[in-house]
Amino acid sequence: MIGKVSEPLWARLCACCSEIMTLPARSTMTRAGEKVTTSVLLLDGLMVRQIVDRAGDLLKVSLQVPGDFVDLHALPLGRLDHDVLTVNEARIALFPHEDIKAIMDDDAEYARALWAQTMIDASIHRQWTFRLGRLRAMAAMANFMCEMDVRMSQCGRSDGTAFPLPLTQSDLADFCGLSPVHVNRVLRDLRDAGLCTFRNGVVKVLDRAGLVKAGSFNPDYLFLPWTPASP
Amino acid sequence: MIGKVSEPLWARLCACCSEIMTLPARSTMTRAGEKVTTSVLLLDGLMVRQIVDRAGDLLKVSLQVPGDFVDLHALPLGRLDHDVLTVNEARIALFPHEDIKAIMDDDAEYARALWAQTMIDASIHRQWTFRLGRLRAMAAMANFMCEMDVRMSQCGRSDGTAFPLPLTQSDLADFCGLSPVHVNRVLRDLRDAGLCTFRNGVVKVLDRAGLVKAGSFNPDYLFLPWTPASP
DNA sequence: CGTAACATTGATTTCTGTCAATCCGAGTGG
DNA sequence: CCACTCGGATTGACAGAAATCAATGTTACG
């Protein structure tokens, strides 16, 4: 979400970054229920938020791309309802809650801007709920790929036709609420339909219009800063 | 969420309520994309938020109970990504965004308390995503009923064994991402299993422990004010 | 070379959606 | 009071989607 907050707020945030560090791939940063006292901005790499119930069922409920605040939503509540982990090696910037609160104290407009970031996150959650509840496997995967296409473009990780997505098919299953085997078949279907490919952690978009249609994707929920020129 | 904000904040909010009104049953309050300049607190009745895509697929992504802020999340963004409608006749209180912003200007602690309300909402969204993505029909319905049981109790609409839920089976289908026919079968299964019944818009909880288990329900994500005494 | 993780495929089972018919209760008009 | 209608609720039969099970292939890597 770099570039999505105003210049002055961005400057204020930078000033209170307490640390920049690197997390190894496939490591757990925070577990559900833990107290959280710093917020994390993802600078590079991918991170995931996931829910695991007592029966061991697991769903990844969010995928964070560079520029996202990963757990800003923990600031008002103090703890998280889910786990946060890295996908690949991740570079992150830490912001102590106390310092962010000081920014909020300073200017309520800043407070609302930070709040807004978490509200876009919530809007994405709603879309994910819709995706899992009402889209068939192939449509869900297409929809997911469309979202990633847009978001990776937004953060400058796409060249317009392809972007890195260093996940396994099993990960994709956890994102789309499918079994790994079925993900494999769905990916083949998308490839056979000439819409997109997923190989070695890279997504190639072959037919963006077709992919958008297959996933009945509408990016409004992302609240992108620019107004799409499309009518 | 009445009673979930501090006494002084509640007083401040009451002071800036601009209007209390009643909406008819099954009416649309706000459509996706519309500008929103007031926030709504639900006083009585139920309201729903739903997403409809271009293909006409529909999913209800939230069910609001009395005491919930229905669209506080629109304050930072100014518009909504989904529709908001009533289920039955609903009594609501209106709070102009300008006045709420004035409260935020006053005290950043208030700002964070309001923010926190929307973060609980987001946490519920995540649980709904999990429910639709990883729970089978019967487990999903059980999980949904558990959540409603807790939330209706929280707002004083349950007598401990039963609570009103004036929905059709078709509504339940839109909540759980199922077909109406399958909802009917799942409800029969829940009844036959002696877990709960749903008839004439009333849910009777027959075996709460069993229902919790069937839905692998864990209320942590609701961030309830009281700490459950259970170990 | 062997191993491990991931990807792929086929066979089968289970779950869920769809279609169609029937039922039921509340309201309505004759 | 009764036939009628209408919106749900219910049920059965069937089709289609996705999970599961099991085996095989592929690749990277120590």
- Shortest Cα distance, chain A CAs vs residue B42, angstroms: 20
Q: What's A155's DSSP letter?
A: T
Contact B58 A135 (CB under 8 A): no
Helix axes A108-134, B97-106, angle to 10 degrees: 130
Q: Which nucleotide is at minimal CA–C1' distance from B176? A: C16
Residue A197 C-alpha from the chain's centroid: 20
Low-confidence ranges of chain A (pLDDT < 50): 2, 228, 230-231
* A134 token code pair: 């009402």
- CB of B9 within 8 Å of a chain A CB? The answer is no
Q: Is the CB of B168 under 7 A from strand D?
A: yes
Considering only CB atoms, which chain B residues are within 8 Å of A108?
101, 104-105, 108, 111
Which residues have C-beta within 8 Å of that of residue B167, sequence separation ≥ 6?
Answer: B46, B87, B175, B201
Predicted confidence (pLDDT) per residue in B55-96, tens digit:
999 999 999 999 999 999 999 999 999 999 999 999 999 999
Which pLDDT belongs to residue A226? Answer: 65
Considering only CB atoms, which chain A residues are within 8 Å of B108?
101, 104-105, 108, 111
Predicted confidence (pLDDT) per residue in B139-178, tens digit:
999 999 999 999 999 999 999 999 999 999 999 999 999 9
Burial A137-169 (b: 16+ CB within 10 A, else e): bbbbbbbbbbbbbebbbbbebbeeebbebebee
- Shortest Cα distance, chain B CAs vs residue A194, angstroms: 21
Predicted confidence (pLDDT) per residue in A67-104, tens digit:
999 999 999 999 999 999 999 999 999 999 999 999 99
